[in-house]
Every structure is written in structure tokens, then in C-alpha cells.
Amino acid sequence: MKARLEWLDQQWNKPDRTDHYLMSIVLAIRQILAKNPKAFKLDDQKINFEFKEVKPIEPEVKKQGLLARAKAGWGAFLGKPGTPIKPEPQRQIKIVPGAKLKDPDA
């Protein structure tokens, strides 16, 4: 896995054939829309990737963050803590054969 990541780090900034096609399309569009089309070059369209070292998160900090996020999610779903959940009143509809249905709220 580490060898693959090293290889990817080296390959990100080396455009392949597809990247060159896309860069030339972008260059053509920019030249069409620009007042000075000669100002743009193919190398200007290249995106350079930079990588930074990622510091590992301490397990206790990660656990506290996950716990706080879970509490916030459930709090938003259930409402304020300590507030009883009030069920909606149930609607009862009486069905009589041969009769039209009536809405009790109407």
C-alpha cells in the first residue's frame, strides 16, 4: 500500500494523454473568450498537486468528536433533551359500505 501511495505521489503531476486532451480543450476555450488569445499556453492549464503530511488523530479526541456528533444528531432528531415527545392525535375514519368517505377534519 505504501509503495502505491509513493507511486501516486510521483504520478499526480505528470499529465497523461487524457490530461493533455483536456488541457488543450480548456486552452482553446480560454483563447476564444480572451482579448489576447496568445497570452495563454498549454502549460498554464496544468494543475499542480501538493501533498501535506496528515497528523494522526489521537483515539480519545476522535472518540469525543464522534460522541459529540452523535449526541448532536440524536438531539436534532428527537428535539431538546428532556422534552417529552407528543404523539400526533390519530385520525379515525369510519367506513360504511356504499357510502362516500368523509374527512373528519373537513
Q: What is the pLDDT of residues 30-59, one digit of tens each?
A: 999 999 988 988 888 888 877 777 777 777
- pLDDT above 90 covers a percentage of the chain that reads 14
Calculate the average pLDDT of the chain. Answer: 79
Report whether 19 contacts 27 (CB < 8 A).
Answer: no
Would you place residue 87 in the very low, low, confident or very high pLDDT band (cuts 50, 70, 90)?
Answer: low
> Cα–Cα distances in Å, from 5 out to 13, 51, 103?
14, 11, 65
> Is residue 21 pLDDT above 60, yes or no?
yes
Burial class (CB in 10 A: 0-12, 13-18, 19+), 26: middle
- Which tens digits make up the pLDDT trace of 53-86? 777 777 787 788 888 888 777 777 777 665 556 6
